[in-house]
Amino acid sequence: MNMKANYNAKITKEQSEKLKKVKHLALDMDGTIYMENDIFPFTLEVLDALRSNGIGYSFLTNNPTKSVEDYLSKLHRMGIKADAGNMYSTPIATIDYIHKHYPKVRKLFMLGTPSMQEEFIDAGFEACADDSNDVPDMLVVAFDTTLTYSRLCRATWWASQGIPYIATNPDFVCPTDAKTILVDCGSLQKCIEAACGRKPDKVMGKPDPSMLDGIMDRNGLKADEIAMVGDRIYTDIAMGHNAGAVSLLVLSGETTLETALEVAQEAKTNPHPKHWPADLIVRDIKELADLLLEAKK
């Protein structure tokens, strides 16, 4: 028996009241609106229904290797209508964070793909060369599939010099079906820390709340007016909790119903659980949209 396919949410009055306030959905992508490269059959219908009823949405990703344009191209190939205003990635969140908290920073030494670095340059920053004389105002470390040894060494040197240091995401590996391990940003952070003792001053990406904070700033929303929707408890739901937003777990991706219920049960008896439960568990975004629109009647 496929418990995910047969699961139907039982919504309480309190949950309905939370949904009633929601004006915007922050949507995880893989496992929530599609699986790898295959869109769910209900996704386009759900997005149309949200737009028709004045509910906004943004797409989120922790993966900084592709640009916003790359992700929009993928969404467009699936038939999803979206523009840059609908997309929020860790590089964009990092750019917004630097502008807000380090307004004088201009020169960056970056570990990141060329497309990621272009996003920072387009936002008004200058990329520093792998040169000890080209001193940056800040170090930015990301998942870098084009990484060279000399640039890793240079990044570690700049970290050792005490300049501001931000990482785009905490992931140690990037999921893949290939017979390899894709070393992600969190592992690069550990490498730098082992070599010079320095941790980042700030790690962006889920479960840090900065991405949701950025979407709220962009759309003029309060925390109870935005819902984080995703299939992972330890990233998506954790970020929603950390931002004080509504958190909605879909069972269309990684998390099983059994795991979700175990997390919810632990939270009832433990004031400091390992993982925070979602405000609502739903089968998929189709069931979520039905409940959301019903709550707003």
What's the rounded Cα separation, in Å, for the pair 48 and 81?
9
Strands 126-127 and 173-174: unpaired
What's the rounded Cα separation, in Å, for the pair 190 and 229?
29
Report how far Cα 127 is from the mean position of its chain's Cα atoms.
Answer: 24
The C-alpha angle with vertex 268 and arms to 263 and 270, in degrees rounded to 5, equals: 85
Cα–Cα nearest to 200, from 244, 149, 162: 162
The C-alpha angle with vertex 125 and arms to 216 and 223, in degrees rounded to 5, equals: 10
Amino acid 4: pLDDT: 61
Amino acid 5: pLDDT: 59
Statement: the pTM of the whole predicted model exceeds 0.75: yes
Report helix angle 114-122 to 90-101, nearest 10. 40
List average pLDDT for each run of 10 residues in the chain, which is 297 residues long: 65 96 96 91 97 96 90 95 93 95 98 96 97 98 97 98 97 85 96 98 95 94 97 94 97 93 92 93 97 95
Amino acid 1: pLDDT: 35
Q: Identity (one letter) of the amino acid at 145?
A: T
Count other C-beta atoms under 10 Å from residue 86's C-beta.
18
How many residues does the structure list for the chain?
297
Helix (H) or strand (E) holding 60: strand 56-61
Tell me, letter by letter, the H, E, C secondary structure of 190-210. Answer: HHHHHHHCCCCCEECCCCCCH
> Which two three-digit tokens encode residue 44?
């386009």
Cα–Cα nearest to 24, from 209, 222, 211, 205: 222
Amino acid 178: pLDDT: 83
Instruction: Work out the widest C-alpha separation in the chain, in whole angstroms.
Output: 63
What's the rounded Cα separation, in Å, for the pair 284 and 203?
29
Amino acid 7: pLDDT: 82
207 upstream amide cis, omega within 30 of 0: yes
CA-to-CA dists, residue 151 to 54, 107, 158, 161, angstroms = 46, 16, 10, 15
